[in-house]
Amino acid sequence: MSFNVFITRQIPDEGITLLRKWCQTVEVNPHDRPLTYDELLEKARGRDALITMLSDRIDDRLMHEIKSLKIVANYAVGYDNVDVKAATGRGIVVTNTPGVLTDSTADMAWALLFSVSRRIVEGDKITRAGKFVGWAPLFLLGGDMVGKTLGIIGAGRIGTAMAMRSRGWCMKVLYTTHTNKNAVLEEMLGAQKVDLETLLRTSDFISIHTPLTEKTKHLIGARELAMMKKTAYLINTARGAVIDEAALVEALRKKVIAGAGLDVYEEEPKLKPGLAALENAVLAPHLGSATVESRNKMSVMAAENIIAVLKKQRPPHCLNPEALIKRMA
């Protein structure tokens, strides 16, 4: 088919190979960095489809300029980088890659939880620096997990997977969700749906899995951090701006909470001043879906979404089916 696709970053070959079986032109950004907005705009001209990253701003101006654009296939579960409303108005389909990175992201949340609560990163630095002088009764004491309370903010696919992994530590699970009760968590774990304040005041570990929206931006700020136990840990593998990062820095500095494990940041890849210096924060460079298996599946899913639209079919993971109706009208 004479379709023209541009991929804004190098992705695994599985997806690219699949696209090349169906599309006349498939070009990949040759630079190992995000494109600037102007570079992206220039590269997008004349394209039928884009595979975009979370770092790519796909706004109304860009879609207005690219008259040929039929689909934006976001290489992520989240899509706060895409103006879906504007895309729908222009008959441009927007898709994402849900499901395939659920387990890897839940695993990452647990890795952060372990790392910060058992002070593994602190210990690693001490050992590598040659400052480990032997076992001591009070050296780098952390917190237990068995029998503690795990709070899940956003009990969707990833939040549910995170909670299910708590069974090995016999944890009590609380959760918040903007939808109906999570029957899986309640039936299998005896989890309780509670309001945010109850979750914050009661939980020993809090893991964020809610999408970033206007309502969830700075959902966790100074007020909410002050509600948490001084012994509590905060984990975020969702979106950085769900937390007021400056307020978190202050809370960690003043030991309002025990620690935080972060894989995402409010102004990614930049960190708020002071965050990098805090020993009670474990900081990862957005590795939630960074497994070979997950990224391979994401590349294939993005390609399949594009191929479906190019074949005038509904893509498997369409975020705005109204755009399909508008396009086919």
The 10s digit of each residue's pLDDT in 4-28 is 999 999 999 999 999 999 999 999 9
Q: Of the listed 39, 122, 268, 322, which one is catalytic?
A: 268
Annotated active-site residue 295? The verdict is no
- The closest alpha carbon to 320, from 12, 81, 95, belongs to 95
The 10s digit of each residue's pLDDT in 89-138 is 999 999 999 999 999 999 999 999 999 999 999 999 999 999 999 999 99
Q: Of the listed 201, 253, 286, 327, which one is catalytic?
A: 286
The 10s digit of each residue's pLDDT in 277-294 is 999 999 999 999 999 999
Domain hosting residue 163, numbered range: 102-283
Stated as kind and residue range, the H or E segment containing 153 is strand 149-153
Both tokens assigned to 265: 């940041």
Which residues have a Cβ under 8 Å from the Cβ of 33 and sit 6 or more positions away? none
Statement to judge: residues 216 and 312 lie in one domain: no
Estimate the share of the chain in helix, then strand, then coil, as percent rounded to the nearest 5: 40, 15, 45
Statement to judge: residues 146 and 165 lie in one domain: yes
Statement to judge: residues 135 and 258 lie in one domain: yes
Q: Residue 327: what pLDDT?
A: 75
Statement to judge: residues 93 and 35 lie in one domain: yes
The 10s digit of each residue's pLDDT in 106-115 is 999 999 999 9
Annotated active-site residue 42? The verdict is no
Statement to judge: residues 92 and 220 lie in one domain: no
Q: How far apart are CA 321 and CA 92, in angstroms?
A: 10
Instruction: Kindly indicate the confidence band of residue 1, based on its pLDDT and cuts at 50, 70 and 90.
Output: low
The domain total for the chain is 2
Q: Residue 276: what pLDDT?
A: 98
The 10s digit of each residue's pLDDT in 191-238 is 999 999 999 999 999 999 999 999 999 999 999 999 999 999 999 999
Q: Residue 32: what pLDDT?
A: 87
Statement to judge: residues 234 and 107 lie in one domain: yes
Q: Of the listed 47, 90, 239, 317, which one is catalytic?
A: 239
Residue percentage of the chain with pLDDT more than 90: 95
Final residue in a domain of this structure, among 283, 301, 319 = 283
Q: Residue 329: what pLDDT?
A: 62
Annotated active-site residue 178? The verdict is no
